[in-house]
Every structure is written in structure tokens, then in C-alpha cells.
């Protein structure tokens, strides 16, 4: 049994601020020194900001965790939030479908694609996007991983109307590396 198996109270820690070197190092050092265990994490640059979403568990009260992070958050000008989580580590679906979307950048692409997927019972587990191309001809690129009981063909068929809107959609199984 590991330390994380014995801790059932998890919090979601979110931090957001201007991107710079050392954010992850400083935040995780403060958490370690406070006696926290780290779980699943998502850390990414969005625009000029860096965002951390991190599962944190500790036997210490939430106020102590926030107090330990406060100097780092203040020094790095990070917005900080701590929320209780239900569940624990590895209590989630694994993605089995990937949807890749590209098209001339315009308002409504995300809403259109995700609405069709929701109607198919598709559960979005991860979505990332970017705008590429030239300033005069931007191209929107979106990658979605999720879970669905529907076949790849059924999902692809449901998304066919996106082509008439100038959006290319590719639906494929997710290859999981195990071992």
C-alpha cells in the first residue's frame, strides 16, 4: 500500500498566473514542505499564462496548505484556489476515442462539434486547442479525447455535417500504451 492509498481526502488546487520559469518547482516544493501528496495533474501554458490543476492530499487542514502556498503565490503573482474533491486517484474513465478538428478559425466551432458529440453521449475527458496559420488566414486546431459507447463510425457519421461548415473532423480510437 502506498501513501496515496491511505489518504482519501483530496483537494483540487488551481493556480493561474503569467508564465515564467520556476512556477512548478516553487509550488511543488511548498506543497512537499507542507507534507502534501500530489496526485493527478494538468499543467499547461494558455496564452501568456501558466495554469496548474493538481490533486493534493494532506493530513493538514486546508488553511495550512493555503498558508504554505501564499508566499509563493504572492511572489509569483498567482491566483490560488483550493476545492474539495469527491473520489480519489484513478477514479475516472480512460479515453477510448480521439476527435481531431481543423478548419478556418471562426466563432462556434467548439460549440458545434461538442454539441454533436454530447448528443451522441460522448464524454469529453480532455480538450486542447490552438490557432495556427497566418494572421490573415488563421486555422483552428482542436484535439478532443473522450469516452463513448458508440462506434467510431457512428461518431464520424454524426460529425459529417461539419464538413459543410468548412471544418474537417477525424475520429479515431485512442491507442493506450500499457506496460
Find out whether 144 and 129 touch, Cβ atoms under 8 Å: no
For 111, list phi and psi in degrees, rounded to 5.
Answer: -60, -45
Q: What is the mean pLDDT of residues 128-152?
A: 95
Residue listed under C-alpha cell 481531431? 100
pLDDT at 33 over 80: yes
pLDDT tier at 81, thresholds 50, 70, 90: very high
pLDDT tier at 85, thresholds 50, 70, 90: confident
pLDDT at 160 over 60: yes
Tell me the percentage of the chain whose pLDDT exceeds 90.
85
| Cα–Cα distance, 51 to 86 (Å, whole number) | 22
Q: What is the mean pLDDT of residues 9-21?
A: 95
Find out whether 174 and 96 touch, Cβ atoms under 8 Å: yes
pLDDT at 178 over 90: no
Give pLDDT, residue 89: 67
Burial 120-130 (b: 16+ CB within 10 A, else e): bebebbeeeee
Least confident of 11-15, 27-31, 59-63, 172-176: 172-176
Find out whether 82 and 57 touch, Cβ atoms under 8 Å: no
Burial 17-39 (b: 16+ CB within 10 A, else e): beeeeebeebbbebbeebebbeb
Cut 0.85: pTM above it: no
HSE, side-chain direction, 13 A CA sphere, residue 69: 26
Give pLDDT, residue 93: 81
Collapsing DSSP to helix, strand or coil, 140 comes out as: strand
pLDDT tier at 90, thresholds 50, 70, 90: low
Q: What is the mean pLDDT of residues 137-154?
A: 96
| Cα–Cα distance, 120 to 55 (Å, whole number) | 30
Amino acid at each position: 500500500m502506498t501513501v496515496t492509498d491511505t489518504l482519501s481526502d483530496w483537494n483540487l488546487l488551481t493556480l493561474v498566473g503569467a508564465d515564467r520559469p520556476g512556477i512548478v518547482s516553487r509550488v511543488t516544493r511548498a506543497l512537499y514542505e507542507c507534507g502534501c501528496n500530489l496526485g493527478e495533474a494538468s499543467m499547461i501554458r494558455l496564452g501568456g499564462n501558466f495554469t496548474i490543476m493538481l490533486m493534493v492530499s494532506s493530513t493538514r487542514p486546508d488553511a495550512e496548505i493555503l498558508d504554505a502556498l501564499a508566499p509563493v503565490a504572492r511572489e509569483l503573482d498567482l491566483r490560488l484556489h483550493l476545492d474539495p474533491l469527491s473520489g480519489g486517484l484513478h477514479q475516472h474513465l480512460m479515453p477510448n476515442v480521439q476527435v481531431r478538428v481543423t478548419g478556418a478559425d471562426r466563432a462556434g466551432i467548439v460549440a458545434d462539434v461538442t454539441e454533436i458529440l454530447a448528443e451522441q453521449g460522448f464524454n469529453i475527458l480532455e480538450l486542447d486547442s490552438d490557432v495556427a496559420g497566418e494572421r490573415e488566414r488563421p486555422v483552428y486546431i482542436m484535439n478532443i479525447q473522450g469516452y463513448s459507447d458508440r462506434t467510431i463510425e457512428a461518431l464520424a457519421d454524426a460529425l459529417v455535417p461539419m464538413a459543410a461548415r468548412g471544418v474537417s473532423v477525424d475520429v479515431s480510437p485512442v491507442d493506450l500504451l500499457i506496460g
